Structure 1
Amino acid sequence: MTRPIPSAALAAALMALAGGAWAQEVELIYLVDNSPDTVAVAEALAAAYMEQHPEVSIEVEQRPGGAEGDNLIKTRLATGEMADVFLYNAGSLFQALNPTETLEPLDDLPNMAGVLDGFKEVVTGTDGRVYGVPARAAMGGGIFYNVPIYEELGLEVPTTWEQFAANNEAIKAAGYVPVAQTYGETWTSQLFVLADYFNVQAEVPDFADRYTANEAKYADTPAAMRGFEHLQEGFEKGWWNEDFGAATFDDGLRMVAEGEAAHYPMLTFGLGGIQQNYPESINDVGFFAQPGPEGAPNGLTVWYLDGIYVPKGGENTEVAKDFANFAASQDACQVILDTIGATGPLLIEGCELPADVPRLVQDMLPYFEEGRTAPALEFLSPIKGPALEQITVEVGSGIRSAAEAAALYDQDVQKQAQQLGLEGW
């Protein structure tokens, strides 16, 4: 990754402003998605910044998640109506924002030096400049599980899909919901596909490169299609909760935390919602990576979650950049830990996790410590079709087969690849 020469003038100005006051009162709007932990962290960061800068007021504005939220972000950027600062995905969805044209580069921020390179790489534009700062910890995609249910039924944490399926049948026979699904918020339907990428790359190491070059597809790669097949299997075997079509993300967290369901496929950032809303159950929830085929290595698919971005051409750009600079500080790390606790490895140098992290985080750390991780596909390829969450809802609801879904998703990503101007498409 190429690195531009930092602007000494900008860095000096921001460092001075960090310790002083803005010349006049400024009002910022910070746009974030509406998940409970996201809102809690955003409001806490805003409050901490305003305490340091009483002349600045920050309003946290909420938006929907999933495709609806994606469309809102793109529309606001296109019409020049974006908030002063906003939270959005890193990786391929970030690239789809055309950041070199729509966002302010942030690589000159004083605190950018402490941001881990792994995160910088997933918020870097085609011009080599860095456009975002981390908003949360790194996270894994896999399976939340209810520890008391596992202990009651004498189950072991599975490392293969065959073991996972057998556990689900035992759980179903005992009268519990084997797997919570929450299609009332469609983005949550994608986990069996997206969290399976460690298993895909273990079997097909060059899949990301060949996929990006239009030389491999989901429909003709059995390892890649397997995630869709898992959704089809779960529906056909009756693993889901009865209200899976209407249940929400918070419902899924509640079900696995309180023991109504044994499993919830989810990203580990969901721990924050459990800490906020079901704190008495925080150590009743464990975590394991999505199981793979028999005989394959077992490991974790990793996301570098959201970035904080500043739109180009805003009225309060310098103040917005200073807020982003604060968000990249060790002080901000502590705000996050104080608000939602430790949900995974933090992405700012010097931000250490406390010794008494929740069980779910303890379960996740060995994958990082032992090197059994792989980035999610969206961090290895710029291609992620916008219709995936609708397609996975259809498979998980018995509307479409896994094979049909994989072929449809291949068509979906073709449109995006052509829009990005990628060779071979």
Structure 2
Amino acid sequence: MVNKPVAAGGDGMITPSMAAGDPPRGQKCEEEMFIGRRRSRTTTLLVTGIAAATLAACGSGDSGESSSDAELVILVHSNAPTDAVLEQISRDFEAENPGVTVRLDTVPTDQYTTTLNSRMAAGAADIVEGDTVQPLPGYIEGVPEHSFVEGVQAGNYVDLTDQEWLDRFFPDTIEDMQIEDSTWAVPTGSTVVNGIYYNIDLFDEHGIDVPRTWSEFVAAGETFQEAGVTPLLLGGSERWPVGLPNLGLIHSTYPDLAELDEALWTNPEVLLEDEAISVLEKLRTLYSLAQDNFAGVSYETLPAEFAAGNAAMLPDGSWSAPVIEDAGPDFEFGYFPLPGSENPAQNVFGYKPEFVFSVPSNAENTELATQWLEFYSRPDNYSAFIEASGFLPLQPDVESTAFVAGLGDELERMTPQWETFHHGNELAGEYTPFYFEGLAPMGRFDDPDELAQRIYDDWTAGLEAAEVS
């Protein structure tokens, strides 16, 4: 969510299988509640842990029905390109396994965590979205582990370490995802979060080169404004998509993001320094280049608007390339990293792991779930997934899409984005570090200095609470 988000959100509808009144499969646990802690909006909204006692009451974790007569339920956030290819992979899996039915339940990104919590508490899903988080570093004290880590430690997920088919993925990818030297999730791919799609014809028509510095980017936007062309499209209705360019500004401003995360926990005054305030100032400028009333515009409408030629640029993740291509098959567009600084060497793509698959240990069909994951990971099926999703592939023998391949040398320069390093603090207030939703028109602050002070106050209150918790 970054995730997305994570990937682009769905159609705002729960699938029929998620409608009210649809009973969960298996034993239903009454008066049990699983409440998760959400990650930042632009990362994947992923499953959180369940108390071991709840799991014991809800299911045995056995394979349940025989693989020849079973329904496998997969629960993921909705995203049109990945929904379609996962449906096709599931139909092919059914053909190879007569008697098996695969039900793909997709849920809008902003509803995923709530739905997932209740489904897992009831043992009503066999494959869900896991996480790639790691245990907390030593400089963080007084706050609980991320709840996916807690869930792993409580035995709430199936250990996939011994599955030989994991060798199809890059070894470093699997190793980086491990918790306590074991594998609990299967990757899908990675995506760029801080890119800017641009209309090639409009750039050519107005004599504008791809900007490589912040001043060049602003100048390009102002040139378009003076010509009566909307420079940027933003969709603020769902809130999180507006955070994508904010991630780009952070990425360009701070060369060492791991160092920045540690500083937030050990020297929070960094939030009042010039670099932090400059991020908010640049974000205000970027807002001024967007279409009118963008705070109320749905993110879902932007790819089609962009493909129709209604703006020069669209800040969005690389996952939207297939959607733009579908919206305008003859539309020519490019993609460059948001240049948030005056140093071109720092203005590079930032990438993140995309959503991952995990198997709850209380699922009815754990064995069948691992069979589906093996089927998905086969190079021909995984290639189809990559082609449809637009993700960067994580298997050595799988080619990137034409769009990704066209990014060329920029892919060699890209580095992990901010949310890969940042550890939030649930004890802090609403105004988290670099809180883009606090700046008008998304929020109530017009002055970046005042917003920075509020961010500092909320964050330090959380640090103080952690010290006494």
Tell me if both proteins adopt one fold, taking TM over 0.5 as the criterion: yes
Q: Which residue of 1 aligns with 2:414?
A: 373
Q: Which residue of 2 aligns with 1:275?
A: 325
AA matched with 1:335: A
Q: Which residue of 2 aligns with 1:86?
A: 128
Alignment pair present for 1:323 and 2:372: yes
Map Cα deviations across residues 30-88 of structure 1 (whole Å, 9 max, x no partner). Answer: 1122222232232222223223223221111121214x4334334544x3455211235
Q: Which residue of 2 aligns with 1:168?
A: 221
CA spacing shift, 1:244–1:158, aligned 2, 3 Å: same
CA spacing shift, 1:311–1:405, aligned 2, 3 Å: farther
Q: Identity of counterpart residues, as a percentage?
A: 20
CA spacing shift, 1:259–1:23, aligned 2, 3 Å: closer
Alignment pair present for 1:251 and 2:304: no
AA matched with 1:167: A
Alignment pair present for 1:332 and 2:352: no
Equivalent of residue 242 in structure 1, options 263, 268, 292: 292
Q: Which residue of 1 aligns with 2:360?
A: 311
Tell me the secondary structure at the aligned position of residue 279 of structure 1: coil
Equivalent of residue 113 in structure 2, options 70, 75, 91: 70
TM-aligned CA deviation for residue 122 of structure 1: 5.1
What pairs with 1:198-277 in structure 2 (closer than 5 Å)?
A: 198-202=251-255, 206-211=259-264, 213-216=265-268, 219-235=271-287, 237=288, 239-277=289-327
What pairs with 1:19-418 in structure 2 (closer than 5 Å)?
A: 23-66=67-110, 68-77=111-120, 79-87=121-129, 90-91=132-133, 95-97=146-148, 98-100=150-152, 101=154, 102-121=156-175, 123-125=177-179, 127-202=180-255, 206-211=259-264, 213-216=265-268, 219-235=271-287, 237=288, 239-281=289-331, 284-295=332-343, 297=345, 298-340=347-389, 343-353=390-400, 357-358=402-403, 361-369=404-412, 372-383=413-424, 391-395=435-439, 397=441, 399-401=444-446, 402-406=448-452
Tell me the secondary structure at the aligned position of residue 364 of structure 1: coil
AA matched with 1:37: P
Query: Is the strand fraction higher in 1 or 2?
Result: 1
Q: Distance in 2 between matches of 1:414 and 1:58?
A: 48
Map Cα deviations across residues 212-271 of structure 1 (whole Å, 9 max, x no partner). Answer: x43346623443444433332233x3x222342332223111222221111111110111
CA spacing shift, 1:173–1:48, aligned 2, 3 Å: farther
TM-aligned CA deviation for residue 287 of structure 1: 0.7
Task: Please report the TM-score for the alignment, with normalisation by the length of structure 1.
Answer: 0.79
Q: Distance in 2 between matches of 1:314 and 1:171?
A: 54
Task: Please report the TM-score for the alignment, with normalisation by the length of structure 2.
Answer: 0.72
Tell me the secondary structure at the aligned position of residue 261 of structure 1: coil
Tell me the secondary structure at the aligned position of residue 156 of structure 1: coil
CA spacing shift, 1:23–1:310, aligned 2, 3 Å: closer
Q: Distance in 2 between matches of 1:95 and 1:325?
A: 27
CA spacing shift, 1:273–1:319, aligned 2, 3 Å: same
Whether the 8 Å CA contact 2:253–2:341 is kept in 1: the answer is no
Whether the 8 Å CA contact 1:189–1:389 is kept in 2: the answer is no
TM-aligned CA deviation for residue 312 of structure 1: 2.2
Q: Distance in 1 between matches of 2:368 and 2:117?
A: 23
Whether the 8 Å CA contact 1:186–1:393 is kept in 2: the answer is yes
Map Cα deviations across residues 380-406 of structure 1 (whole Å, 9 max, x no partner). Answer: 244377966995344252522444545
Whether the 8 Å CA contact 1:106–1:131 is kept in 2: the answer is yes
Q: Distance in 1 between matches of 2:102 and 2:458?
A: 38
Q: Distance in 1 between matches of 2:99 and 2:326?
A: 30
CA spacing shift, 1:265–1:373, aligned 2, 3 Å: same
CA spacing shift, 1:374–1:24, aligned 2, 3 Å: same
CA spacing shift, 1:299–1:321, aligned 2, 3 Å: same
Whether the 8 Å CA contact 2:197–2:314 is kept in 1: the answer is yes
TM-aligned CA deviation for residue 414 of structure 1: 7.2
How many residue pairs align between the two structures? 387
Moved more, 298-307 or 115-124: 115-124
TM-aligned CA deviation for residue 375 of structure 1: 0.5
Q: Distance in 2 between matches of 1:210 and 1:390?
A: 14
Map Cα deviations across residues 148-178 of structure 1 (whole Å, 9 max, x no partner). Answer: 1111111111111111111111111222211
Map Cα deviations across residues 354-396 of structure 1 (whole Å, 9 max, x no partner). Answer: 6xx13xx245331223xx2221122224437796699534425
